[in-house]
Amino acid sequence: MSDLALPGEPEEDEPSEPLVEDALDLRPDLSELGLQEHEKGIVEDTYENRQALRQAQMNWDTVYDQRGRPTGLIAARTKEQLKQRRVLAMREKAPLLVDPDDKNSEYVTGLDLLVDEAACNITPPWVVNATREFIKEQNNGGPSSPRRAPKAQPHRCRIIKTDGIRCLLWSSGRVKDDGLCRVHLRTQRKPGEDVERARRKLMQAAPYAVDTLEQLMETAESEPVRLKASSEILDRAGVRGGMDIGLDIEVTDARSPAQIVQERLARLEEGAKRVQELMNGEQSEIIDAEVVEPNGTKFLPNGDNGEDNDEDEDGPVIQTDGFDDEEM
């Protein structure tokens, strides 16, 4: 035996065996489902085996060895097995029941739970502490402040399962939990229920909030606080400062954005065609041209039919044949 091994613990090199405490007769016969069993009611932990158990409406538990390590096996659980296990658990929790002959009986709560040593030993520690806080607050006459909610007293979950046995877990006793334990609290709530509950709480707190604003408006020593409280009251009452501007937009053009874009593209295309035609077209011939020299002399093309060739107000007029001196 190794130095770190505990008495009764198997050796490191000793092969470990699966530890299954259920009676052999209570285990289901999985060979009828076409599964290869390691032992009766025990198969390998594979996706195919889990799917077959799920289709047969069976649950399963992981099988561990003597060292607490997973063995890669799962033990099938039928509904009859689960009910039998819950019945055995009810026998162990008999001290908690108000009526031991009724398996759906309420649990012992309050001072009766604390004075019963057997019941207190099998009760979760948080239930015992919450019960003590509840009794202490009741003895002191209620919450220490009117703004604080009273302590809640834990009790048994109200849900009755499909096998006809009431849930064995505890509920916190708070109003918002609706008598449900932590497991059924996640499954029984409807979508949007938290939002509706928050809205109801706001509506319940509204009168107290208005009283607080009125008190601040009348008795606050700080002027900004009194002004803010007064403004909040007026705002909630519908009396607001300033001017409300209403903008009414009337749409006369019923065309869709796609039609407007198409029309703009068509106009752009038509304009581009006109520009292209002007660029590719022949330039118009210049019939008459008049050149004005800096000294004021005008040169007229050959064949000009002017009235006279004499000097006018702008200077002398010289008739040319359309050629420059360099070309002649």
pLDDT at 199: 84
Contact between 109 and 128 (Cβ < 8 Å): no
d(C-alpha 148, C-alpha 80), whole Å = 47
Map out the domains of the chain as residue ranges: 18-77, 85-188, 193-236
3-class state of residue 304 by DSSP: coil
**How is residue 65 annotated by DSSP?**
E
> What long-range pairs does 66-73 form, CB within 8 A, spacing at least 24?
66/9, 66/10, 66/16, 66/17, 66/19, 67/9, 67/10, 67/16, 69/16, 71/16, 71/18, 72/44, 72/45, 73/18, 73/38, 73/42, 73/43, 73/44, 73/45
Q: What does each of the 328 residues of the chain score in pLDDT, given as a tens digit?
A: 444 444 444 455 555 666 665 655 667 888 888 888 888 888 888 888 888 888 888 888 888 877 778 888 888 888 887 777 778 888 888 889 999 888 889 999 999 999 888 888 888 999 999 999 999 999 988 888 888 888 999 999 999 888 788 998 999 998 888 899 988 888 776 666 678 778 888 888 888 888 888 888 888 888 888 888 888 887 877 766 665 666 666 666 667 888 888 888 899 888 888 888 888 865 554 455 565 555 555 555 555 544 454 444 445 544 444 444 444 4
| Residue 130: per-residue pLDDT | 92
Q: Cα(175)–Cα(177) distance, rounded to whole angstroms?
A: 5
How far apart CA 105 and CA 165 sit, in angstroms, is: 10
Instruction: Report the C-alpha gap between 212 and 218 in whole angstroms.
Output: 10
DSSP characters over 22-60? S-GGGS--GGGGT---SBTTEEE--HHHHHHHHHTT-EE
Task: Say what the pLDDT of residue 106 is.
Answer: 92
**Residue from 77, 92, 97 nearest 30 by CA:** 77
